[in-house]
Structure 1
Amino acid sequence: MRRFATLNEQAQSIASTSSSTRPVCARICSNRRRTLSQTSGAVTLGRRSGVACRSGVAVQAAAEVVQEEYDVVIPSFPAPAAGAFLADKRSFREEHRIRGYEVSPDQRATIVTVANLLQEVAGNHAVGMWGRTDEGFASLPSMKDLLFVMTRLQVRMYEYPKWGDVVAVETYFTEEGRLAFRREWKLLDVATGKLLGAGTSTWVTINTATRRLSKLPEDVRKRFLNFAPPSSVNILPPEETKKKLQDMVLPGQVQSAQQVARRADMDMNGHINNVTYLAWVLESLPERVVAGYKMQEIELDFKAECTAGNLIEAHCNPLDDHSATFVGPAAPPNGNGNGHAGEPSADAAPLQFLSILQKCDESGCTELVRARTTWARALAGAKPAPPPLAELSAVSQ
């Protein structure tokens, strides 16, 4: 209604300042009396809208409003495919859309987002095999007090998906030795089928009452292996996984502000979520690294657990001379201000850092996580679509 009132006001102003428009207005009004009413929103410009007829300009503007049309740019967003087992039931695939609160300022998903997706799909895979329980993540009722716990995680990224992209996560697991199991993931771009990233992890079973390692019961193990491909199927080359993470003399060259483990960080197993440790590791790194580089790879060894209320310290050291130039305050324009030769060079050499998380109280500190991160100014880009797991399994058998 306000829009029409404004047009009337303009018409009155024009009519009061210029008599030359009156013949035009008269013709327009005469024509409009012979035609049907025109509608603009909830206001009808009809036979008795005499004020608007005082200005042909106003009537023409109103007609333009009536004729103006708009349309949406994207009428619908296809829903990601639901999680499902693939044909041989030896792997599980689920699609997700990258949401606005899961990206960084460049509109690309963060490594924390990727890790959360891997964990979510792994949990859904387990629920699909064994069903849901009332406590903790999915586990067979016959497992009683046993629980799967991740001891190592390695994620390698070739390209981070963008806000709105639909990605697919495919996962499977295999036996590894007497007490351990390996879970692997592929992160794929649904639109192109290309490989965006890959991950591998090691899991063990512990007794929830004693918090000690425990062997998986034989009946559970057999059921477990019924849904597993051959253990020789690896997403990442075996020689590039499980490399020892170096020791560190504390305190590290970079130390973040002490953090408090929050209740919001607790998971269904009653301890801090694995992805939260990864987020804490990021806080230990020099700002110039996080701001100017992309994380290419992260390797984490989980050594102990913590719970809400624990105080967390994060320490970080560079692992080579080139990475060391990113530690400390920025050099002044003429260089040599911080003991380095100048600002870090803008070459393509990757950076590597070692980080350690520990929980501390009045009795001392306990190491929680040790992590090695590799950073690059630009990632290699998505790789061609990998062969299906069924084909890899057939080759390895």
Structure 2
Amino acid sequence: MEKQLLLKSSSYYNATDLFKTQTYPRFLSFKTPRYRRNNGGGVFLPCFSSSVPLDLAVSNKSVETRSSNNVSSMGCLADKFRHGSLSDDGLSYKEKFIVRCYEVGINKTATVETIANLLQENACNHAQSVGFSTDGFATTPTMRKLHLIWVTSRMHIEVYKYPAWGDVVEIETWCQSEGRIGTRRDWIIKDVATDAVIGRATSKWVMMNQDTRKLQKVNDEVREEYLVFCPRTPRLSFPEAGNSSLKKIPRLEDPARYSKLGLAPRRADLDMNQHVNNVTYIGWVLESIPQEIIETHELEKITLDYRRECQQDDMVESLASPEVEDVEHINNQGTNGSSPTKKYEQDWKQFLHFLKLSGSGLEINRGRTEWRRKLTR
């Protein structure tokens, strides 16, 4: 009652305040814990007294779960303090995040690395919520038995409005099969205060043997273990034809216009699977963007194709050059017969990127970034 009176008397009360005040009491009675399968093929709620089976089409194959001690001590406690839950049908996962002060740049808005980290956190929490392991990224029982892990082959992120320090965002994610060689994961990012979509992302993943570091096809047993948690019909965060996430990235031609040499992984850049975290590559790619672009433009789209792992002792070179779009595409930017080329060049910048190992010159990844002019304030 005291809290209610305080809230009513407050003249400044926004989505962030609501998020903060709800955090403690909400999770003491949190009713949307992670799902897991039992030996009979049903899906149950493991962390609370009432276990209610869900109406999902599940495989007859059982999914190995963590030990009861681990689930009760680690999983349930985290669930109480996490603003995330599965959808009613169990086929997607939504989670709310506050943008913290250490996640913003000099203009007090989130960086693209922050966005990428939130996407990764959201995806891992989704995997845990359906009972997959905490000792890697969404590994199923068969994957752990065969020493298999997921690795990213492509990542595409679009941000239409960067959230500011203290803003609350809601991220929805889901995964689905991508042919016979991998899987894909999609995200939609919303501003909780306005319910507006402020970003979207998609990624492609392939399977790698953790011991040999070689790629491997997804076998039927693994596919059955995770497809039960995927949409029955394709659902894409970028459903429109010809969207940027589908564009091929050509190899950057020598000589590159801009470069940043001598980049090296830190210990903190290594993830649970003992390779450089995907977000680190985004930071390296942006290191080669000239300062004058950083000052006048902000990143709207980034696409990375991952070609090779980077080890802790490797040295990396980041190269970039402007990409000239074909004339037809540029001409389509104009309206009413106006000439758009000059305006396009001023307001929109596009770069090709190339990360390679110093010395050997072996390609680590290639990328594309698209930048819009910053709004004047």
Instruction: Work out whether the TM-score is over 0.5.
Output: yes
In structure 2, do the counterparts of structure 1 residues 233 and 345 end up closer, same or farther at CA, with 3 Å as the change threshold? closer
1:250 to 242, 251, 254: 254
Q: Which residue does 2:139 correspond to in 1?
A: 139
Q: Which residue number in structure 2 is paired with residue 351 of structure 1?
A: 349
Whichever of the two has the greater Rg, that structure is: 1
Residues 5-16 of structure 1: pairs in structure 2 closer than 5 A = none
| One of 316, 320, 329 as aligned partner of 2:320 | 316
Deviation at residue 283 of structure 1 after TM alignment: 0.4
The aligned amino acid for 1:112 is E
> Unpaired runs of 5+ in structure 2?
1-9, 24-81, 327-341
What corresponds to 1:372 in structure 2? 368
For 2:105, the aligned partner's letter is S
Cα distance in 1 for partners of 2:204, 2:21 equals 35
Give the 3 Å change call, closer, same or farther, for CA 72–235 of structure 1 in structure 2.
closer
CA contact (8 A) 2:321 2:352 kept: yes
Matching residue of 1:235:
237
Cα separation, partners in 2 of 1:255 and 1:192, compared to 1, 3 Å: same
* SS in structure 2 of the partner of residue 154 of structure 1: strand
Contact 1:130 1:139 in 2 (8 A): no
Deviation at 1:154, TM superposition (A): 0.5
CA distance in 2, matches of 1:244, 1:348: 24
User: 1:234, CA displacement in angstroms?
Assistant: 1.2
CA distance in 2, matches of 1:272, 1:248: 23
Mapped to 2, the partners of 1:133 and 1:93 lie a distance apart of 19
Residues in 1 aligned to 2:228 and 2:90: alpha-carbon distance in whole angstroms: 9
How far the C-alpha of 1:216 sits from its partner, in A, is 2.5
1:207 correspondence with 2:209: yes
When normalised by structure 1's length, the TM-score is: 0.67
Kept in 2: contact 1:90–1:228 (CA 8 A): yes
Question: Aligned partners of 1:179, 1:231: CA distance in 2, in Å?
Answer: 18
Q: Does 1:223 align with 2:219?
A: no
**Number of matched pairs:** 285
- Which residue of structure 1 aligns with residue 84 of structure 2? 83
Deviation at 1:350, TM superposition (A): 1.1
Check 1:90–1:253 CA distance in 2 against 1; reply closer, same or farther (3 A cut). Answer: same
**In 2: Cα distance, 1:83 partner to 1:163 partner:** 20
CA deviations over 1:306-327 (Å, ceiling 9, x no partner): 12121110000001299xxxxx
Name the structure 2 match of 1:123.
Answer: 124
Structure 1: segments with no counterpart, 5+ residues:
1-70, 323-343, 380-397
- Contact 1:95/1:166 (CA < 8 Å) preserved in 2? yes
Q: Which amino acid aligns with 1:212?
A: K
Cα distance change, pair 302–91 in 1 and its aligned pair in 2 (3 A): same
For 1:162, give the aligned amino acid.
A
SS at structure 1 position matched to 2:242: helix
Question: How many percent identity over aligned positions?
Answer: 38
The 8 Å contact of residues 154 and 297 in structure 1, kept in 2 or not, is answered as yes
Whether the 8 Å contact between 1:98 and 1:165 is mirrored in structure 2 is yes
Q: Map residues 265-276 of structure 1 onto 2, 5 A cutoff.
A: 265-276=269-280
* Corresponding letter in the other structure for 1:349: D
Contact 2:150 2:208 in 1 (8 A): yes
Q: Is the 8 A contact 1:98 1:161 kept in 2?
A: yes
Q: Structure 2: how far apart are the matches of 1:103 and 1:118?
A: 16
The whole-number CA distance in structure 2 between the counterparts of 1:201 and 1:238 is 17
TM-score normalised by L of structure 2 = 0.71
The aligned residue for residue 328 of structure 1 is none
In the alignment, the residues of structure 1 paired with residue 374 and residue 348 of structure 2 have an alpha-carbon distance, to the nearest angstrom, of 9
Are residues 249 and 129 of structure 1, via their aligned partners in 2, closer, same or farther at CA, if it must alter by over 3 Å? same
Q: How far apart, CA to CA, are the structure 2 residues paired with 1:90 and 1:114?
A: 22
The one-letter amino acid paired with 2:242 is: E
1:260 to 1:251, Cα distance in 2 relative to 1, 3 A:
farther
Aligned counterpart, 1:109: 110
